[in-house]
Amino acid sequence: MSEETKKGNYSADSIQALEGMEHVRMRPSMYIGDVSTRGLHHLVYEVIDNSIDEAMGGFCDRIDVTINENNSVTVLDNGRGIPVGIHKKEGVSALEVVMTKIGAGGKFDKDSYKVSGGLHGVGVSVVNALSNHLTATVYTEGKIWQQEYKKGKTQYPVKVVGESDKNGTEITFLADDTIFQTEIVYSYETLSARLRELAYLNQRVTISITDKRQVDEEGNFTHEEFYSEDGLKEFVRYLDATRECLISKVISMEGEKNSIPVEVAMVYNTSYTENLHSYVNNINTHEGGTHLSGFRRGLTHTLKKYAENSGLLSKLKFEISGDDFREGLTAIISVKVAEPQFEGQTKTKLGNRDVSPAVSQAVSEMLTNYLEENPDDAKIIVQKVILAAQARHAATKAREMVQRKTVMSGGGLPGKLSDCAWSDPDKCELFLVEGDSAGGTAKQGRDRNFQAILPLRGKILNVEKAMQHKVFENEEIKSMYTALGVTIGTEDDPRALNLSKLRYKKIVIMCDADVDGSHIATLILTFFFRYMRELVENGNIYVAAPPLYLIKKGAKKEYAWSDSDRDGIIEKFGGGSIQRYKGLGEMNAEQLWDTTMNPEFRTMRQVAIENGTEADRVFSMLMGDEVPPRREFIEKHAVYANIDI
C-alpha cells in the first residue's frame, strides 16, 4: 500500500474511542466551560450542587465548604450520604459508580430528585476526573465509608474506616494542575459570593465557608456563615442595600403554577437602571429565557392595566412601553424545572415554553394583590413609570444623535481618536486612556498598525446616578460609542447593543496606577457593565496593568508590578533609587510600550462577570450615595492606602 493510500485510509480503526473519564481529561472545556479560573471554581460548584440537591429534596440543612492550606477543597453536607451498597448492573459500590461514571447519579432518577441543580448534570465524576487526588467519605448506616481516586482512577474498593452516628457526604479534592491554564488558587470572594447566593435561593439551609490559607491576629481562619429565613425577599434587600427604596416593602410570592415551583421578589428604587436576575434550579441564567419573558409579560400587563384604570396616564401624550415599568426595578425570579432545556451562547438561556405562562400568571396574581392592598405604593410606582416614559422619550432623541454620529451613518470618527492602520476587528485594539498627556505618550509609543488611542478627559459621567438621556448626551460616552462602531437597539430589543460593526475586539482601559486612576477605571467599567454588558460578557474588555515601580542600580533596571515584586528586585540587586509611577505620563513612550502596550511582555486583566448579582451589588455600592459600605469595601481591597496619603 502506498504512503498516500495509508494517509487517506479513514476506517473504523481511525476512530479513537474515548470513554468517560479519559474523554473528560482530554476535553475538559466540554464539561466545565473552560480551563481558566472560571473552570477551576466550577469544580467546587459541581460538588456543592450534589449537596444542594439533597437540600432541595429536604434531606440536608447544612453544607460546609473549606479551602485547605494546599488549595484543595472540602465539601461536607449532612444529607443522606451517597449510597454505598453494590450497584446491580456495575457490580461495584454505588459510590464508585457515582464517582467514576460520567452521567451517573441520583439526579437522573426522577424518584430520587424532582429537580436538581448543576448546569449540565455532569456531577462529581467530572471533578474526580480533573483532580490529582480525591477522597470521598460517606457517613451512613452507622459507619464511615471511604474511597480514594487519582486522576479519576479508583485506588481501592470502598471500605469501612470507622463508625459514626451522623449522615452525610464529604468530598475533598485537589484540582489537577496539568489540566488548568491557571495556578490552582481559589478566590475566597468568588466562592463566598456563590455560597451566599445559594443560601438565599435555598432558604433555611446553613452554608459556611472557611479559608485555612488565611489566619487573623487571634489565630482564627477566615470564616463566613450564610443562612436565610426569607429567601428571595432577603436577597433583594441585600442587592438593594445601597440604593434608595421607593416603596415600603418587598413584593414577593412563592408557590406552584402548572406544577412548576415559582419564586419572585421585587422592589422599586430611585435609580434609573433595571436589575433583573433570573435562576433555574439555582443556575444564574444571565441570558434570560422563557421565565424572564414570562415575568416581564406579567409585570407589564398588570401594571399597565392598573395605571390605565387609575386614570394616572390620561395626561401622557405618548404610549408607555414595557421598559418604563422596569426602570428602577430590582427583581429576582427563581424557578425549579424538572427537565430544563438550555440554549444561548453560554447555555444559560431557558428554553422550556411551559415556564413562561406559569411565571406570568404568578406575577400577575402577586402584583394584583399587592397593588390593591397598598394603594400608596401603587401610586408611587405608577408615577415612577410616567417619569421613566418621559425620560425614555428624551433618551430616544439623545440616542438618535449618537447613532447619527457613528461610523456606519457616515458621521466620521471622533476627532481625538488616533485610529490604527488595520481594519480587521479581530486584530485591532482600542486603548481608552486617562487624560490628554498620557494619551499623547500612548500615541507615540503604540504600534500604529493595530493599536488605536482614545484619550478621555477627566472623570466620565457616573452612569449609576444619571438618567438615560444624560448618558447619551455625554461627550466622552458619545466618543466611545462612535469609536467602537456599536449601535443601540436590535429588532428584538430596543435597548440591546448591536455589535455587528464593532471595530476593535480588544478594548483596553489604561489609567494611572493611583486612587484617581482606579476611580476613573471604575467609572468606565460601570458604564460598560450598565450600557455595554455584552462586550464584558464576550470577553472584549481588558484593564491594562502599568508597573508601579522602576528599580535601578547602576546599569541594572527592572520594573515591579507589586510591593512584593519590588522587594524581591531590591534584594536581588542588593539595594537601588526606587521610582514610583503614579501616572502614565511619568513614563516616556518607549517605557509605556515596553511595560504596558507590547503584546509580547505586557500584563492585562480580562474583565469577566463571575457572578452577575454580586457585580450588580458592588457597582451600585461603589457608584451610589451610601458612604459607609463603600469606605468598608475600599479599606478591605485598597492597594494604594499607604502610598497616596
Residues tagged active-site: 434, 512, 514, 516
Burial of 472 (0-12, 13-18, 19+ CB in 10 A): buried
3-state SS, residue 61: coil
Distance CA 16, CA 58 (A): 43
Chain-centroid distance, C-alpha 460: 24
Distance CA 368, CA 378 (A): 10
Distance CA 466, CA 634 (A): 23
3-state SS, residue 259: coil
CB 459 within 8 A of CB 519: yes
User: 3-state SS string over 208-231?
Assistant: EEEEEEEECCCCCEEEEEECCCCC
Q: Which residues contact 113 (CB under 8 A, 6 or more apart)?
A: 53, 56, 57, 106, 107
Q: Which residues contact 293 (CB under 8 A, 6 or more apart)?
A: 356
| Site of grid cell 451522623 | 166
3-state SS, residue 286: coil
- Cell numbers that stand for 347 in this block: 447555555
Containing 506, the helix (H) or strand (E) segment is strand 506-510
Q: Which residues contact 116 (CB under 8 A, 6 or more apart)?
A: 49, 53, 56, 106, 107, 281
CB 527 within 8 A of CB 463: yes
Secondary structure letter of residue 202 according to DSSP: S
Distance CA 299, CA 304 (A): 8
Secondary structure letter of residue 595 according to DSSP: I
